[in-house]
Each structure stands twice: as structure tokens, then as C-alpha cells.
Amino acid sequence: MTFNFRDTSLVPIWEKIQKGERLSMADGLALYATPDLISLGKMANFAQQQKSGDAVYFVLNQKIEHTNICVLSCKFCDFAVKKGDASAYEMTTDEIVSKLTPEITEVHITGGMPADWPWERYLDIVRTIHSRYPATDVKAFTAIEIDFFHKKFRMPVEEVLRQLKDAGLKTMPGGGAEVFSERVRRRLFNQKIGAKGWFGVHKAAHRMGIPTNSTLLYGHIETLEERLDHMVQLREAQDETGGFLTFIPLAFQPGDTGIKPRNQFTSAIDDLKTIAVSRLMLDNFPHIKAYWVMLTEEVASVALNFGADDMDGTVGEERIAHDAGAISPMKLAKDQIIRIIKDAGKIPVERDVYYNPLKVHSDRVIGKIPYLNSLPFYHDFEKGPFRILPIVPRRMGILAADNQLAAGLYSLMDYYRNEASLDLLDWCIATRDQVKSVMLFSNHGWADLDGRIIGVTDETATSIQLLRLLLANKYHVKAEFRRLHAGVNDYTGYDAVLLIGDQALYHNRHGLEGYEIVYDLAAEWYEWKKMPFVFAVWAVAKNAGPEMRSALEAAIRESLANTEGRYRAIGELHGRTLRLHPEYVEEYLEGFNYTLGDREKEAMREFRKLAAEVNPGVVI
């Protein structure tokens, strides 16, 4: 892909981006320095498309700032007050719960840190929300608050998190990171914990299966180098844990902080550059959030074409930014968010706290399995009238059951479950013998797995049934399955772990710590049945209409034809983030059969028959 760069110094950076190479601090500075804003936006939009296709996520959420009384006195904060202040407030659990309604899917709780609240009061808030609104996920307490609880209530950070998790906490917000620079910390928030403490809490959370968000407070006294250093530190931490969901650049609202004149907000250009640069620098972050509360609706709308794929949500009511003079509204209606996202040419995807899609507010949406093995279908896919939603197999099945997609490359089990509303097309993802990316990492041989606990990736719909079948009918053992947490690389505490897709491919190549034996499920099937295994099939909604169907068929056919013989180039672009050599990716892709022929259909029928016998429709 080529753009007409006005600033040709961007060309080498663009080449790196296209090859999936990581950008350096110097690249980041060059991106900030460029006057060619439009090219910067196009590059970031390209990176965004690689990650999230045409999707922009939002959530029906409610912010709760339970109190503004705070023992800290950070210079940039206009929200916090001292106890006894005329504007001080403290909410009871009942007052907090009264702000919620059943349609809210995420509640975001963060606030001041008063000296006199007992630990039980915080637990009570989380527990009560969780029990009264079980479908509402609780995202609560920044690393600063967790550290405060740790010190005040004399409990290790892990114990604080464990008790909150038991009470119902699902994820943590990204606040309190500010800027990791020690220079800025000493000048603006010297009572806060700093980078080491902030990362300590987030990494502890990730190890415990609590994904978290991250922020950067920009537009005050920090330098561009300090912003970029902040991003690089986050990128390194993400390499280590994989537990960050999104990055949120927070535009500083000067208010009466005295740090900047009252109305000197960050410029729209700086906001857009920061969104774009963060998308390009944070190559291992799934999402970048355009937080409209601090950016304004207008800038957030444009940001959706500058690398952001996350609009936060309806918010409900917000004080931290508004006390510091934010000019955005206090809340946005769902319809308004949907309109903004549609106007940006994207798919409004209503999500849960983990970014699982709940509802797709657009038609002509095609589900894309975001794994390397499906790339021959999508690499050269001319979108035409379609919009692409990358979505893991099991979640795609859930959307199909609700008739939310026009078409998709469905996991085989999901195709069967939704057969009545789908038409099968002529393509699939089938193995010849081995697959290399549906792997059981184990500490026990097959026969010894009886009664053991197997952690199973949250993403699978078909491989889990294949594993069940192999255990029951090939090896005559029965194990207990537990779903692994989406998005957090915690594989400890199981006797074996089933992974699929790129995660499995990566660990097949690089090993999975703690597990010595590796089984390839397609190879197991082949050895047993002497048949290929069909993991996924293309299907189109029956109600999509013949024109749509033929447009889709033409696009798939063309992409397959264009990519044939070019698997090494695909490996160059997409293998790097997985630390896989292009030749390895080439060999991997050559192991698949993408056409649904008679042999594949026969294998499908055999699997269907056996799977129905072993586990009549059980889904865990």
C-alpha cells in the first residue's frame, strides 16, 4: 500500500509499519514532529485496521466517583477536596447502587482516598453491585487506590486484589499512571507511587487474571520524550504479561489547577497525534481509547480514523474532568455514540468489560477469525460493501446465534449450531494432517489425564469438542475442563492447557512454561481417522440475499487467488509480532486446505456424528 507522503521522512517508518516492525523512540519523535498529519492518521488507521478491522467498541457504562475526599494533593487534580470542605461528598453503597440500571454492562468506580473509610466499605460496594446486578461488570480502583488499600489496611497487594476479585471485581481502570517520568512526578504528584509501584500493581493483577487498562495524562509540563518513554514502558510490560486491554491518552484539563491557563486545552492536532502515535508505538495493545469526555465529541469522532477503536461509553456522569473545566457533556446517549461511530465509517460494536462483542450495530458485517491461518481469506479481501469484525471463534458463534452477522468464517461447531439460518459456502480451514495451532500443552500423557484439570482457552468452540472426543473415544479417559480467562496469559494451576490460534502457534514454537508435553489435536485426529480436520467453514446468513452472497464469494475467491504463492510475504508482515520466521509461517499456511471438497465434507460428517455421541450439545 502506498500513500502520497507530503513529509517523505515518514517513508522509512511506514515501511517498518507495513513489515510489522516495532517503532523506536526516535520514530515516535519523528511522528510527533511531522506536519503531515493526514499521513500520520492514515498509518495509524492502517495499524488500527490490522488489529480491529472496522470495529469501534463502546460500552453502556456508568461512572461512579464514590467520594472526592482525598488524602493526596496532586497539583493537576481539581476534583479532590479535604474532609469538611463545602463541596466534599461521600456516597453510601445504596446511593451508588441507585445510579445503576439493568442495561448498564460496565460500572467504572474510582474516586478520592479518604482517611477514614474502612476496608469493608469498599468490598461492600463491589459485592453489592455484583449481587444486585450480576450482568454488570465491575471495573474498579486505580493502582493508586489499590496501593493505598495495601498500605492502609496492611495487606499485600495480592490479598487486596484477591478480596476484591472474590467480591466481584472484573478489571481495573488505567488511571493514576499520569506520566511515568520521575521529573514530572516530583513536580506534580509527589505523593503518588510512581512508575514502579503502578506497574507492580498492574502486573500483580494480570498474574491473577484481572486485566487492566492504562492511561497517560498529557498536555501539561511533560515533554514529548517523556510521553514516548511512557508508551515504551507500557509496551515492555505488555510483552511480559499481555494483561492490558486498552490505552487511554487523557488530555489534561487545566481548570483551576494553576499549571496552565484555565482555557488552554490541548489542541486537536496534539490530541490526534497522540492517539495516532500511541496506536503505532503500542503494537501489542489490542485497543486505543478516544475518551470523548476529555477530548470532546468532535475530536473523539475524528480520532476513530486516527487509530482509536474504543470510544469508552455512555459514562452516565463524570466529575474528575468536569471539575477541571471539561467542556464535553456529562454523558452521551447510546444513539449518539452509534451515530458518531457510523459517521466515521466504522462498525459500532457494543462490548462487555473484556471487549467481547455483545451487539453489532451495523449490517453487512463479516466475522474474521483473527488468526494467521485465516489470512489467505482476508489479506487481499476487497471489502466493497462489507465491514470486517475480527472476533475469536466462540464469540463469533454467539453473535451468529443472535443473527448479528452477514457472514463469517465460523468455527465448525458454531456452523452446526446455527445451521438453520446459515448457508454453507465452498471454503473452509481444514488441515491435511497436523495443524500446529490447536495444541494441548500437558504434564501428563493422554492415559494419565483421567480426572485431571484442563484449562481451555476461552476462544474455542470446536477444538474443545475435538479434545473431548479424543479423550473419550480415542484414549478412554475423562478430564475436567475449566475456561481460561480471556486476555490474560495465566496458564498456571492446570494439569494441561488447550490453546488455539496464534497463541497456540507461538507456544508450539517457543514452548509453554510449566508444560513439557505438546499434542497437536489435528495430528491426533488424523492418526486415528486418517481424515483431514475441518476447524472452520465459511457461511453466509440465509437472509443476506443473493447479491450479497455472490459479492462475498467473489471477494473470497479473489483474495485466495491473490495470496496463493505469497505466503512468505504474509509471514513477513504478520509473523513478526509472533516472533515467527516468514519461512515458518509459509510452511504453516501451506499445511492448510482452504477449499471445502468431498474429503473435508466427509470428515465434517464423521466429526459431527462422534461429537454428538460423546457430548450431546454440552458447552462449557
Q: Give yes or no for residue 406 binding ligand V47 (CB under 6 A).
A: no
Q: Is 217 in the site for ligand V47 (CB under 6 A)?
A: yes
Q: Which is nearer to ligand V47, 213 or 274 (CB)?
A: 213
Q: By C-alpha distance, which of 473, 475, 483 is closest to 444?
A: 475
Exactly one of 175, 397, 408, 532 binds ligand V47 (CB under 6 A); which one?
Answer: 175
Cβ at position 254, least distance to ligand V47 in Å? 7
CB of 320 to ligand V47, least distance (A): 5
DSSP string computed for 262-286: TT-PPPHHHHHHHHHHHHHH-TT-S
Helix or strand (DSSP H, E) at 608: helix 598-614
What mask of x and - would describe binding to ligand V47 in positions 177 to 216, judged by CB under 6 A? Answer: -x----------------------------------x-x-
Hey, is 197 helix, strand or coil? helix
Is residue 427 a contact partner of residue 538, using CB atoms and an 8 Å limit?
yes
Instruction: State the Cα–Cα distance between residues 557 and 325, nearest whole angstrom.
Output: 54
Which is closer to ligand V47, CB of 199 or CB of 519? 199
C-alpha cell belonging to residue 523: 495430528
> Do residues 367 and 407 make contact, with C-beta atoms less than 8 angstroms apart?
yes
Interatomic CA distance for residues 34 and 43, integer angstroms: 13
CB 524 within 8 A of CB 470: yes
Residue (160 or 321) nearer to ligand V47, CB: 321
The residue assigned the cell 446459515 is 422
x/- site string to ligand V47, residues 355 to 394, per CB under 6 A? Answer: ----------------------------------------
In whole angstroms, the minimum distance from the beta carbon of 545 to ligand V47 comes to 39
Q: Are 222 and 19 in contact (CB under 8 A)?
A: no
Positive/negative CA dihedral, 123, 128, 130, 136: negative
Q: Which of residues 4-63 bind ligand V47 (CB under 6 A)?
A: none
Least distance in Å: CB of 198 to ligand V47?
10
- Stretch near ligand V47 under the rule CB under 6 A, chosen from 81-89, 167-175, 274-282, 451-459: 167-175
Query: Which residues ranging from 526 to 545 are in contact with ligand V47 (CB under 6 A)?
Result: none
Minimum CB distance to ligand V47, residue 242 (Å)? 17
Q: Rule CB under 6 A: which of 105-134 touch ligand V47? A: 110
Residue number closest to ligand V47, CB atom: 175
Rounded CA-CA distance 118/130 in Å is 19
Does position 253 interact with ligand V47 (CB under 6 A)? The reply is: yes
> Would you count residue 316 as binding ligand V47 (CB under 6 A)?
no
What does the block give as the cell for 150?
A: 495495601
Q: List the interface residues with ligand V47, window 322-341 (CB under 6 A).
A: 324
Whether residue 354 contacts residue 343, with contact meaning beta carbons closer than 8 Å, is answered with no
Helix (H, G, I), strand (E, B) or coil at 61: strand
Closest approach of ligand V47 to the CB of residue 169, in Å: 13
Q: Is 250 in the site for ligand V47 (CB under 6 A)?
A: yes
Counting contacts by CB under 6 A, is residue 174 touching ligand V47? yes
Please tell me the distance from the alpha carbon of residue 593 to that of residue 427, in angstroms, as a whole number.
9
Query: Is the Cβ of residue 183 or residue 579 nearer to ligand V47 in the bound state?
Result: 183
Distance of closest approach, residue 252 Cβ to ligand V47, in angstroms:
5
- Per rule CB under 6 A, is residue 311 in the interface with ligand V47? no
Among positions 77, 484, 498, 544, the unique one binding ligand V47 when judged by CB under 6 A: 77
- E strand residue ranges, 10-64: 55-59, 61-64
Residue type, 495: D
Side-chain half-sphere exposure of 119, counting CA atoms within 13 A:
16
Give the per-residue SS3 of 391-416: CCHHHHHHHHHCCCCCEEEEEHHHHH
> Which is closer to ligand V47, CB of 23 or CB of 245?
245
Instruction: Tell me the C-alpha distance between 521 and 539, whole Å.
Output: 24
Using CA atoms, how far apart are residues 387 and 240, in angstroms rounded to an integer?
33
Q: Considering only 39-47, 170-178, 266-274, 604-612, which stretch makes contact with ligand V47 by CB under 6 A?
A: 170-178
Degrees (nearest 5) of the Cα angle 150, 153, 159? 50
**Selected binder of ligand V47 within 23, 113, 143, 320 (CB under 6 A):** 320
Task: For the CB of residue 261, give the shortest distance to ligand V47 in the complex, in Å.
Answer: 13
Residues 310 and 285: beta-carbon distance below 8 Å: no
Residues numbered 134 to 163 that lie near ligand V47 (CB under 6 A) are 142
Half-sphere exposure in the Cβ direction for 535 (13 Å, CA):
31
Q: Residue 332: which of 383, 369, 361, 295 has the closest Cα?
A: 295
Residue from 41, 53, 168, 173 in contact with ligand V47 (CB under 6 A)? 173
Interface region with ligand V47, contact rule CB under 6 A, candidates 119-127, 249-257, 560-568, 597-605: 249-257
CA-CA distance, 9 to 533, in Å (whole number)?
A: 48
Nearer Cβ to ligand V47 (175/357): 175
Q: Of these, 111, 114, 168, 176, which contacts ligand V47 (CB under 6 A)?
A: 176
Kindly state the smallest distance separating residue 361's Cβ from ligand V47, in Å. 21
Size of the site for ligand V47 (CB under 6 A): 25
- Residues linked to residue 482 through DSSP beta bridges, in sequence order: 455
Enumerate binding residues for ligand V47 (CB under 6 A): 76-78, 110, 142, 173-176, 178, 213, 215, 217, 248, 250, 252-253, 255, 257, 291, 294, 312, 320-321, 324
